[in-house]
A and B are shown apart, each in its own frame.
Chain A
Amino acid sequence: MIPLAHFMLISAALFCIGLYAVLSKRNAIMMLIGIEFMLNAAILNFVAFGKYDKLHMGGQLFALFAIVLAAAAVAVSLAIILNVYTFYKNIDPTVIDQLRD
């Protein structure tokens, strides 16, 4: 039997690693990976608490919905990254700073 606090601590550490990647990476794909880490940390919390409610299964079902949302987000954002690359020849978000053509 694993205590719930350990699940929460693991997901907190993973969330902070993802936060670091989002804040300080200079590559859009690495920032996307950071966002995935943060989403995965949230999903781990959902699943860990969902163990205590067998009838409604709220935790596991919302983990499922979160995975689907993450997949949709990754598909759209990778398409945007590819478009930005063909336009600017660069995917460093600190360089891309104009909205006009």
Chain B
Amino acid sequence: MNIEQIVFYFFAASVLISAFFVVFMKNMVRSIFLFFVTLFSMAGLFVFALADFIAVTQLIVYVGGMLVLMIFAFLLSSKTILNKSEEKKSSLLGLHYIPGLFISLLFFLILFITVYQANPDQLSWVKNSENIIQVNDNTIHYIGVNLMTRYLIPFEIISVLLMMALIGASHLARREKKI
């Protein structure tokens, strides 16, 4: 087991453990802050798939933008939830968790069997691929060239969509004027 595998499985374990705690933690502030840890470790896994540009984008967009937004919304909207959490715990006995747990465990079983049977490392286009990204490749160069040639239309469409979404969000979140 070389150092690459050790670091990879460390990141994988930290993704899964922190995601598990995000979901099962009672305290919502702690779970949102643990969401940071999950996203950081996901960026680490992206680096191991030789997608360093995606990893940096993940850090900037998710950790820099989205999480700040999420904490902001949480602090604006959760006054009642923080007070109510104790009475809910006693009245429901945790029973409403069971169907969701059951469905997600079964779904994981299905995905596990699918991955086992698909055996992705033996696929012909993976095995015989001649243009695998090497560690010392300049992936940003390839991304830039492809973004401006092959994927130009999706790029333009997604930029318009992002602008529409941001204008819509700021329109929705504004305070109504009393006339």
Contact = CB atoms under 8 A, between A and B. Distances in A.
Contact of A14 (B19, B97, B151, B166): B19
B107 A16 contact: yes
B74 A29 contact: yes
A67 B96 contact: no
A82 to B, nearest CB: 6
A79 B88 CA distance: 26
Contacts, number: 229
Interface residues of A, number: 73
A71 B40 CA distance: 16
A40 B38 CA distance: 10
Interface string B61-95: 11001100110111011101100000010000000
Interface residues of chain A: helix, strand, loop or mixed (majority): helix
Interface string A32-53: 1110110010011001111111
Contacts of A14: 15-16, 19
Contacts of A34: 23
A17 B104 contact: yes
A67 B126 contact: no
B87 to A, nearest CB: 13
A69 B164 CA distance: 12
5 contacts: A12-B108, A17-B23, A64-B143, A72-B162, A82-B173
Interface of A: 1-10, 12-21, 23-27, 29-30, 32-34, 36-37, 40, 43-44, 47-57, 59-61, 63-65, 67-76, 78-83, 85, 89-92
